[in-house]
Chains A and B, each alone.
Chain A
């Protein structure tokens, strides 16, 4: 049996829900999400890990889904942009993106937001420099960078203000 015609079962959690897909060994996580699970929020901008449009969280950390095999996601927890909106209510980062006009065509936006989510999980009140560095892998050809940074800084400031022992 050729490697290509072999399929493996991958069971994992996607946006809090248990999922199972049968995939060939070389199928990427991005293809599994987009084509098997119809979660098309994560985009293929390059397919080779250079643009960040496919960024999702795996066990809470940002990952380029085009560079991870679906089988590597077995037993792990994947979060995509679709998981951020609960009952139609946008999460604070999504709202900040809209308020700051942090996108134009919007194609890279799911990746930008998930990369930022990854940073905020690790560091709830990042500095401007930390934000710039964390998002350096996410290309926005329309050039919304400054607005993305402004949206991110607003979230960071809110987090800092909420931190216990700090004046509001």
Chain B
């Protein structure tokens, strides 16, 4: 019987209570002793052929007949009001079909009612002023120059400090702090510090960091009567559907959203963009399909970012290394509109056993581009502060930093006061320490080394994050008469290998080769699945796929029992063959049984069961970075990163390693190179693409060793798996910062760790 259960759901570093529908009993967990033949093996991606051949069609590759193209005019001011808008010349330009703006577009609330789809008040440089739709993309872009706009510049705030200053200009009438400061306290922090034999205190700052997915944001939309089809580069087709239907005031069943292939999102594509709605309005008015894809410059200004953070942390420990106090304050620059704060304090609250903890996080609005979730939002930044302070304190006490961490190992979730479903962080520590040669680590010099030459150092970072997944998620499967199986599920393949993992899970249940199972996803005509974010795709969708396949398996056993004239309980399924227990020769293949049904497909449906009550599900991990620092130039070279993560059962070790490497590389970029720059006077964006924003490239990638604990979680879900998408980026910047400090004695906790900052910390910058 379906029932509604209220559950604490962890998502993107935040806990919320949510009503979820549970349809019945879940399958037993694939435990540690379960022998699995396909799950846990290195299966090459099932969509590899599509991706290496150019056959994979991404949103911008779609070209429905009559397609029109759109381009966006953006605000040059950080804060301004439009006083005059004249699109006459643009409307008369060659090929132009429509110019949409606040002057003629319907007033559709946007950003949780804080603004409009086209708002005459612009709150960041890059805010949408108008959109031109034309026969070609070039014509649309040309016509942007013909739109005449007069702006009245308004007072602006760009930085955290400015936004928090007394009498600051308000971004929104409610104030510049989203929802007020977020405070947490356990124990007595002041008493803890009085007990401490040693303390450290430091600042940590991280810059705005851009996602820069290779495929920019965008949609292709097409109306057929009053029904709308949207192809979108998105991590959340059902979210886009809901937002589009709400914005256009049309029923949900009139909107179909598809995203069969998408070129990366990293959190920036978690919902509908204005571009989707604008394209839909234009398409409806013009009766033609419309494509609105961001240029790379658009992507740099208005596609979201990891928000700049300013953090302060103070730790206190006893002589034996026991942590007795953590005091943490963080601030996050959300930009103009983000509605969700950054969970910066997550690591400080939960990573280490400590009786006295106080944290405060302030999320600030400014006249800069709205931020978006970016792979482990808040936790990457918060881990830099915490883990830098931990190694500094360990060095100060003369305790090896790994030993220090083990002495303060948190056995339970101290925030919610309950156990973890599983925690194998010790295994991760042990394995990275061994693989990276941690015993070689010499304590950091007490004072910065300012000599000549190059010095090497080792540094560690620890990762804590969610990744449990949750209901609801549903899947359907059918087994065809030729023995092929098809899965349909409304999730997304954003590059993580989800399609392959889901095929493995289904193939495992039916004991079929993976190439007999096809997975179709990225379509709201398929069963509901959640957004592909929060490291939850496999942990939410995989258990439902397993259950759908299990139902098909049961039908198959019944069918075989009838054909083989045996009781269903006596039928065994092994390696694609059904036979009577104890009489292996009395059997037939899956395809033979399925073929007996005529042109009829055995069908199964599966749902995601509830998360276990009373436990916290977390992923854990550790990384060690080895760096070389040139003391004369301040240049940091990362030589090697060793990573080991506890993400439960690893479904596919090949794809797991790719996820780890990708996360480490993004973390490395953030540690050393990436910084999105806003002009401090005007608020305009200074980097408009890869020429001025330094994403990591082939030549700077170090050796990366991707290890896995690979122990199934005994209760988290029926697969024993936890998520892997976000964990690997979390500890990398912290590990690199610690390695630089270990090498030189100069601690730089302001990212990116540029040569100038290193030289400054060495006292060599004149």
Question: A139: CB under 8 A from chain B?
Answer: yes
Question: B4: CB under 8 A from chain A?
Answer: no
Cα-based distance from A35 to B495 in the complex (angstroms): 25
Cα-based distance from A81 to B51 in the complex (angstroms): 10
> How many positions in chain A have a CB within 8 Å of any CB in the partner chain?
58
Q: When the two chains form their complex, are residues B261 and A99 in contact, meaning their CB atoms are under 8 A apart?
A: no
Residues of A with C-beta under 8 A to B495: 103-106, 142
Residues of B with C-beta under 8 A to A31: 138
Q: When the two chains form their complex, are residues A50 and B691 in contact, meaning their CB atoms are under 8 A apart?
A: yes
Question: B35: CB under 8 A from chain A?
Answer: no
Q: When the two chains form their complex, are residues B696 and A143 in contact, meaning their CB atoms are under 8 A apart?
A: yes
> How many positions in chain B have a CB within 8 Å of any CB in the partner chain?
58
Residues of A with C-beta under 8 A to B49: 90, 94, 98
Q: When the two chains form their complex, are residues B698 and A143 in contact, meaning their CB atoms are under 8 A apart?
A: no
Question: B112: CB under 8 A from chain A?
Answer: no
Q: When the two chains form their complex, are residues B662 and A107 in contact, meaning their CB atoms are under 8 A apart?
A: no
Q: Of the listed stretches A39-47, A69-77, A154-162, name the one at the interface; the rest are far from the partner chain.
A: A39-47
Q: When the two chains form their complex, are residues A104 and B698 in contact, meaning their CB atoms are under 8 A apart?
A: no
Question: B463: CB under 8 A from chain A?
Answer: no
Partner of B215 from the list A103, A105, A138, A144 (CB cut-off 8 Å) is A105
Partner of B494 from the list A105, A143, A148 (CB cut-off 8 Å) is A105
Partner of B261 from the list A48, A94, A106, A140 (CB cut-off 8 Å) is A106
Smallest CB–CB gap between B215 and chain A, Å?
Answer: 5
Residues of B with C-beta under 8 A to A5: 94
Tell me the number of A-to-B contacts counted with CB atoms below 8 Å: 169
Smallest CB–CB gap between B250 and chain A, Å?
Answer: 30
Partner of A141 from the list B47, B48, B213 (CB cut-off 8 Å) is B213
Q: When the two chains form their complex, are residues B704 and A107 in contact, meaning their CB atoms are under 8 A apart?
A: no
Q: DSSP class of B's interface residues: helix, strand, loop or mixed?
A: loop
Q: When the two chains form their complex, are residues A107 and B264 in contact, meaning their CB atoms are under 8 A apart?
A: yes
Q: Which of A123-143 contact B (CB under 8 A)?
A: 132-133, 135-143
* Nearest-CB residue, chain B, relative to A106: B51
Q: When the two chains form their complex, are residues B697 and A105 in contact, meaning their CB atoms are under 8 A apart?
A: no
Partner of B264 from the list A34, A97, A105, A113 (CB cut-off 8 Å) is A105
Smallest CB–CB gap between A37 and chain B, Å?
Answer: 11
Q: Which 4 pairs between the two chains have the least Cβ-Cβ distance?
A: A41-B54, A105-B495, A107-B263, A106-B51
Residues on A lying within 8 angstroms of B by beta carbon are: 4-5, 26-27, 31, 34-35, 38-48, 50-51, 53, 80-82, 84-85, 90, 94, 97-99, 101, 103-110, 113, 132-133, 135-149
Residues on B lying within 8 angstroms of A by beta carbon are: 44-45, 47-58, 60-61, 63, 94, 138, 211-216, 261-264, 266, 295-296, 494-497, 654-655, 657-659, 661-666, 689-691, 695-699, 701, 703-704
Can you show 21 pairs from A to B with CB atoms below 8 A apart? A43-B214, A45-B214, A47-B295, A81-B52, A81-B53, A84-B53, A85-B53, A90-B53, A101-B654, A103-B48, A103-B495, A107-B213, A108-B263, A113-B52, A141-B211, A141-B214, A142-B495, A142-B658, A143-B665, A145-B698, A146-B703
